[in-house]
Amino acid sequence: MSFKNVAIFSKPRQPDVANVALNLMTWFQGKGIQPHLNPHPSIVSQADLAVVVGGDGTLLAAARSLGDRQIPMLAINHGGLGFLTEVTLEEMTPALEQVLEGRFVTDHRMMMEVAVERDGRRIAEYRALNDAVINKGTLARIIELEARVNGQYLSSFRSDGLIVSTPTGSTAYNLSAGGPIVFPSMSAMVVTPICSHTLTNRPIVLPGDMKIELTLKSDQGEVHLSVDGQVGLPLDRGDRVLAERSKVVVQLIAPSGKNYFDVLRGKLKWG
């Protein structure tokens, strides 16, 4: 596979990250490849490779910037925990050499389409690689959410909130809330209550082709929907949050030899 244009996503306000991105531009130019740093969407449409320098948040924003046209994306970890950005700075140049030589593996990750309906009208639409979280404000009391799956009643959750996670997002907020780790190439969604008032409410893993509907039943103060921890809006009583598998799939690439279990052991200190 030949790459001619690369989109580089970074954090321009962090000097150390910005310097790595600038060095990358010079490196790609030396290879006869045209780099574009934090490009405008019209430029992104011309790229055939994306390189992300930063943490998982930078990668989530980059995936959203790519929109419907998801191109192979290599993530360089220059952030914190970094479950998604699995290539270290020390490995960056050798990893890029392997990618340009075609020696890489592609990991396809499902995304979710998330919509909000109010009074029978759709008021917002988002796309998530990690999760959609309904959470109460700091001063709000416990909130009540009614959950339905494919139109069938699942349960009413009285809790601090609820997480609907993709397999990729299963190692994010879902993991902190006691949800399961789901292998990232699976097609599944996880519904996990946050600090449930009912101890028998437990996370549930659902097939990826199911549609989840969450209705806010309480009016106990500020309640907010957050998508991938980056976009969202306040919710009112009666609002419906709908989540289903997206037709768009993220293509994360890594040098041959990298695998998910290496990442888990490293990040979670297993073994």
Q: How far apart are CA 37 and CA 65, in angstroms?
A: 13
Looking up tokens 């490849």 gives 33
Structural contact between residues 84 and 265, judged by C-beta atoms closer than 8 angstroms: no
- DSSP class of residue 88 equals -
pLDDT tens digit sequence for 111-147: 999 999 999 999 999 999 999 999 998 777 789 999 9
Q: Which two tokens stand for residue 248?
A: 């768009």
> Has 56 been annotated as catalytic?
yes
Structural contact between residues 25 and 36, judged by C-beta atoms closer than 8 angstroms: no
pLDDT tens digit sequence for 180-221: 999 999 999 999 999 998 888 999 999 999 999 999 998 877
Q: Which residues sit opposite 143 in a β-bridge?
A: 159
pLDDT at 81: 66
pLDDT at 7: 97
pLDDT tens digit sequence for 149-175: 999 999 999 999 999 999 999 999 999
Q: How far apart are CA 47 and CA 3, in angstroms?
A: 8
Which pTM was predicted?
A: 0.93
pLDDT at 80: 67
Bridge-based pairing state of the strands 5-9 and 34-37: parallel
Q: Which two tokens stand for residue 7?
A: 């989109």
The residue annotated as part of the active site, out of 16, 48, 56, 119, is 56
- The amino acid occupying position 55 is G
User: Which domains are seen in the chain, by residue range?
Assistant: 5-103+256-268 (3.40.50.10330), 111-247 (2.60.200.30)
pLDDT tens digit sequence for 28-77: 999 999 999 998 888 898 999 999 999 899 999 999 999 999 999 999 99
